[in-house]
Amino acid sequence: MVFRFSNKGGEGGYRFFCQNEEDDDKQRGDFLQLNNFMIYPVEFYINPNESQELFVCFIPKKSGIIEEKVIIACDN
């Protein structure tokens, strides 16, 4: 799935982190590969009124409800 992240405020850098610090080693370059999801890009910078496409791939390894929690942080 593709999500459009739009910046309606000031310029800033954004980065995804795993909620659990022990999962931080799951970042591979500009990808964050969790158990059932992959997020790309994991880090980006956008100016006011710009947008960034975020790609989230769902790769299920079992049936049922599957959740992964991530944190997105901004540097400003």
Closest to 24 measured CA to CA, from 56, 74, 71: 71
How far, CA to CA in Å, does 46 sit from each of 6, 14, 30, 49, 64? 9, 8, 16, 8, 36
Residue range 2-47, pLDDT digits in tens: 999 898 989 999 998 887 776 666 677 788 888 888 999 999 999 9
Between 48 and 33, residue with greater pLDDT: 48
Looking at residue 19, its pLDDT comes to 79
What's the rounded Cα separation, in Å, for the pair 17 and 42?
8
Provide the domain count of the chain.
Answer: 1
Please give the residue range of the domain that contains residue 27.
2-74
Q: Where are the beta strands (DSSP E) in 1-76?
A: 2-6, 12-18, 27-28, 31-33, 37-40, 43-46, 51-58, 70-74
